[in-house]
Amino acid sequence: MKKNRLRKFLVFILIFAWLFTGWPQVFNFPPEIQEAYAFSSGPLTAGTVTQAGVTGCTNNASTWSTTASVYANNDSTVTTYGSTTNWDAGETTDEVRLANFGFNITGTVTGITVEILGWESLSGSANYTDVILFTTEGTEVGADKATGALPTSDPGSTYQTFGGAADTWSAGLTAAQVSASTFGVVICFTAGSANSQVTLDHVRMTITYTNSAPTLSVSQPDGTGDTVTVGDAYNVTYTSADSDNVVTTAFFYDTNNSGLDGTAISGACATAAEGTDATCSWDTTGVSPGTYYVYGITNDGVNSQVSAYSPGQITINAAPVVSVSVNDGTVTYGTMMAGASKTTIDLTDTQTLTNDGNVLETFNIKGQNTACPWTLAATAGTDQYTHEFCKKTDVSCASPPTNYTALTTAYQTLYTSVAAAGTKQLDLRITVPTTSTCSIQQSADVTIQAVQQ
């Protein structure tokens, strides 16, 4: 975005005015391989516990005393089933259904561990009949892990374990399914002898899973053709992906390519979405001119953050300032006879032009007709005057009209390749009309235009 600054100066001719103005004036990087890390959630306790009699797990003669006491390992509050008179060999309990464990995971489920704290609390025996997962009550999935017998006395804090960190129960469950409030485990038992009783104190579950870290690479800027001006928009090109989570990337600019200690980029590049060779637009307004690397940081909330620097730098140049000034900017020719000529050399008033911008400039020049009017022409005549310029920096202006060029109302090139802070000198020569219908003082503008080269 080019920004130009205009300045105007007056030169009076009889008194004439001299007006000076300005003029608005591949690297291809493949995505990184995602690394999967192992995590576990739990052990957690069910938030919902119910009982039900179903085929294979029911006994019309007895029910569980309560389901409200399996939420913690607490021997003083337990759930019992059976008694000395109504639960005998071969008979099963009703199901205990435990759900809503509160898992909230992403990734791939690699193992499910169920731990049960219970025992046969009379003189009989009891065996596991069902230990099986369900996605909703009544919809059981995977293998039934029931095996073995309950201890015949309170095991304290020694749980019996079913499944494991690498055992998915052949259920093929997803992270979303085990995180659902309806997911759980169903348990029931079979009496091994007459007059048995089961005491169930606590059930808990652990999910093990893997979660892949996001991948991120930045391909642009690569240092080739990456030059903009402060205020321009620049597209940062990147590739970001996460197989388990939805992530965004925050981008920064940095004077070097290490340390992750740069300045945040606002706008679209603050929360750039996943994509392959995706872009986000960086508005460079307010950025200090310089050369910068760009880096991104992304985080899935599970793994450690991932970052990547660009392979090359972007160069941000200062906005161009195009400006010209004139010293002293005013010429007074005084009273002149008809058809007479006068120069700024006669007045010891050579004008100095200065490039006040920060870029290479071309100076252009033009004159104007006056208001009375006097017409600007190549030769003086009735109501016609001439105004000529001489490039004193390049040639001698001491012997007019030699080296003097007539001004017109259109721009002509005055000087080219004027460096910032560079100066050029200019002399003028006026010839007033031979006769004039105007009897009042006249002024004319001479305009100096600065254009970025």
The mean pLDDT of 387-414, rounded to a whole number, is 97
Same domain, 87 and 140: yes
Phi, psi at 221, each rounded to 5°: -80, 145
Which residues on adjacent β-strands are paired with residue 85? none
CATH number of the domain enclosing 268 = 2.60.40.10
Same domain, 296 and 372: no
Same domain, 92 and 153: yes
> Residue 24 has which token pair?
């608005």
Distance of alpha carbon 154 from alpha carbon 121, whole angstroms = 8
In this structure, is residue 285 part of a structural domain?
A: yes
pLDDT in tens, 134-162: 999 989 999 999 999 999 998 988 999 99
Same domain, 206 and 254: no
Which residue carries 């460079």 as its tokens?
Answer: 284
What secondary structure does DSSP assign to 166-202, as a single string? TB-TT----HHHHHSTT-EEEEEEEESSSS--EEEEE
Q: pLDDT band for 70, please (50, 70, 90 cuts).
A: confident
Measured in whole angstroms, how far is the alpha carbon of residue 302 from the centre of its chain?
20
> Residue 47 has which token pair?
């938030």
Residues in the chain: 453
Which residue carries 């007019």 as its tokens?
Answer: 400
Round the average pLDDT of the chain to a whole number and report it: 88
The domain boundary residue, chosen from 212, 240, 267: 212
Same domain, 192 and 76: yes
pTM above 0.75, yes or no: no
pLDDT at 286 over 50: yes
Same domain, 182 and 300: no
Other C-beta atoms lying within 10 Å of the C-beta of residue 225:
11
- Classified as helix, coil or strand, 40 is strand
Same domain, 173 and 276: no
The number of folded domains in the chain is 3
Distance of alpha carbon 88 from alpha carbon 59, whole angstroms = 10
- Mean pLDDT check: name the lowest of 69-83, 122-136, 329-343, 428-442: 69-83
Q: Identify which of 392, 398, 404, 396 has the alpha carbon closest to the alpha carbon of residue 431.
A: 404
> Please, are residues 347 and 397 in contact by the beta-carbon 8 Å criterion?
no
Same domain, 55 and 155: yes
Same domain, 197 and 306: no
> Residue 77 has which token pair?
């509050």
The mean pLDDT of 41-48, rounded to a whole number, is 94
In this structure, is residue 243 part of a structural domain?
A: yes
Cis peptide before 221 (omega within 30 of 0): yes
In this structure, is residue 32 part of a structural domain?
A: no
Alpha helices, DSSP H, located in 31-186: 175-179
CA distances to 173, 231, 263, 319 from 4, rounded to whole Å, are 65, 13, 28, 9
Residue type, 283: D
Residue type, 306: V
Question: Using alpha carbons only, what angle is made at residue 363 by residues 358 and 366, rounded to the nearest 5 degrees?
Answer: 145
Which residues on adjacent β-strands are paired with residue 218? 238
In this structure, is residue 27 part of a structural domain?
A: no
CATH number of the domain enclosing 75 = 2.60.120
Phi, psi at 222, each rounded to 5°: -115, 5
The domain boundary residue, chosen from 170, 193, 212: 212
Same domain, 287 and 390: no
pLDDT in tens, 312-339: 999 999 989 999 999 999 999 999 999 9
In this structure, is residue 28 part of a structural domain?
A: no
In this structure, is residue 8 part of a structural domain?
A: no
Same domain, 177 and 272: no
Query: Residue 85's pLDDT is what?
Result: 57
In this structure, is residue 3 part of a structural domain?
A: no
Burial of 435 (0-12, 13-18, 19+ CB in 10 A): exposed
Residue type, 250: A
Same domain, 254 and 208: no
In this structure, is residue 301 part of a structural domain?
A: yes
CATH number of the domain enclosing 437 = 2.60.40
Burial of 29 (0-12, 13-18, 19+ CB in 10 A): middle
> Please, are residues 280 and 235 in contact by the beta-carbon 8 Å criterion?
yes
Q: Which residues contact 109 (CB under 8 A, 6 or more apart)?
A: 168, 173, 174, 175, 178, 207, 208, 209
The domain boundary residue, chosen from 254, 283, 317: 317
pLDDT at 376 over 60: yes
pLDDT in tens, 107-131: 999 999 999 999 988 878 899 999 9
Phi, psi at 37, each rounded to 5°: -115, 145
Query: Residue 34's pLDDT is what?
Result: 53
Segments forming the whole domain that contains residue 366: 324-452
